[in-house]
Structure 1
Amino acid sequence: MSQISEARKYPNPAPLGLAGFALTTWLLSMVNAGWYPGGAVNLVLACALAFGGTAQMIAGVMELPRGNTFGATAFISYGAFWWSFALFVLFLHDNVPAGFVGWYLCLWGVFTFYMWLGTFRSPKALQAIFLALWITFFLLAAGEWTGSAALHTAGGYMGLLTAVLAFYLSAAEIMIEAYGHAVLPIGQASARMVQAPAH
């Protein structure tokens, strides 16, 4: 009997997870930036449940057999963020103080900040996404606490930047899978550094 076993190839779920995150973040950030009125959030909620939430959850579960702790934690957590956001706006927002919403956003900022610290051995494109995202959360939290429209708008624009960066890395990952090499530069970590999971 042959002793040669064929290595199992696990698909890379990062393009899916990043795309779900990017598209939903872009839609919500357009509202936060003041491009569209609050009623536009209804479409954001649909996307948050179907793509931002569910697709990221699927991507996170796909990271588990690949042994990617960072990727699983990130995708499952932000998938849960979108589900919780949609549930809050749809059913649970009545009588919740703005200051408490600020804490919700702030704590997501804290989570994102230490996830950003975990990207320092990963490509610079991934570092940039998490940097922009924790700044987004803190700006939005400060906007809730202070009632400042300017901070809320700034959070919206930072969210738009976050979405662009996530779309970029998703596209870069797709092209690596399609062509077998990097087409879009993602700022690979130094070869002197021990490589950590990049998704």
Structure 2
Amino acid sequence: METKNVKVEVADPTTLGLFGLAIVTLVASSQKLGWTSGLSYLLPWAIFLGGMAQLIASVFDFKHKNLFGATAFSAYGLFWIGMAMGWLIKLGCFGETLASEIDTRQLGFVFLGYMILSIVLTISGLKMSKVMFFLLFLIVMLFLGLSLDSFGFGAIWHSVAAYSELIISITTFYALS
């Protein structure tokens, strides 16, 4: 019996992953900047575009043997799903007991871990385009701001995170072109 290998071609998933990032950071930054309020309409975009679209892009980047894209899209996709779960807890969707036991410093450590990952990806991004390097630098700034804000270092860090996130969205839309 002869074994036959069939190669399935798939399109480059980068555009899907970047579009997910652009939309979710635009909506999230609007909330951080005070242009919108609440989390209810942020949740679907975090779950579907921030989370699922980036995870789908990750799977296809693995098929393309693009370790950088696969790692970035899977890590950030899981981040957005985790954030959505955290917001659901905060909103009391899993009960008041869980909502009342929130310690934002735990989230600060998550942000710190993602900042470290983002620094590693930024160093790898030096080999890529200037736009990708700038985007990753902004993501580092976002996680720095989020970390320090979660640890209570002052409102300025919330602003750093908010404006970094808005510029991430704009830069990502530019990167789509």
What TM-score comes out, normalization by structure 2 length?
0.86
Q: By how many angstroms is 1:145 displaced?
A: 1.1
1:33–1:155 contact (8 Å) kept in structure 2? no
- Distance in 2 between the 1:133 and 1:127 partners? 10
5 Å matches for 1:27-66?
27-37=27-37, 39=38, 41-66=39-64
Q: Which shifted more, 137-146 or 7-16?
A: 7-16
Taking the aligned partners of 2:21 and 2:161, their CA distance within structure 1 comes to 16
Q: 1:93 to 1:116 in 2, by over 3 A?
A: farther
Contact 1:140–1:155 (CA under 8 A) maintained in structure 2: yes
Q: Distance in 2 between matches of 1:150 and 1:22?
A: 23
In 1, distance between residues paired with 2:100 and 2:119?
A: 29
Determine the structure 2 residue equivalent to 1:124.
Answer: 130
Q: Contact conserved, 1:33 with 1:154, CA < 8 A, in 2? A: no
- Evaluate the alpha carbon distance shift between residue 164 and residue 24 of structure 1 in structure 2; reply closer, same or farther with a 3 A threshold: same
2:148 is the counterpart of 1:142: yes
* Amino acid across the alignment from 1:53: G
Q: What is the deviation of 1:151?
A: 1.5
Offset of 1:35 from its aligned partner? 2.0
Deviates more, 1:159-168 or 1:140-149: 140-149
The answer for the alignment partner of 1:67 in structure 2 is 65
Query: How big is the shift at 1:166?
Result: 1.1
Sequence identity (%): 27
1-structure distance, mates of 2:122, 2:100? 33
5+ unaligned residues in a row in structure 1: which ranges? 1-6, 173-199
Letter in 2 for 1:69: L
Relative to structure 1, the CA distance from residue 167 to residue 94 in structure 2 (aligned partners, 3 Å threshold; closer, same or farther) is farther
Shift, 1:50, TM fit: 1.2
1:142 is displaced (CA, Å) by 0.7
1 CA distance for matches of 2:62 and 2:156? 40
Match of 1:102 among 98, 108, 123: 108
TM-score normalised by the chain length of structure 1: 0.77
- Report what 1:21 is aligned to: 21
Alignment check: 8 A CA contact 1:113 1:134 kept:
yes
What is the Cα deviation at residue 96 of structure 1?
2.2
Mapping of residues 170-185 of structure 1, within 5 Å:
170=176, 172=177
Task: Give the distance between the partners of 1:8 and 1:54, measured in 2 at CA.
Answer: 22
**CA root-mean-square deviation:** 1.7
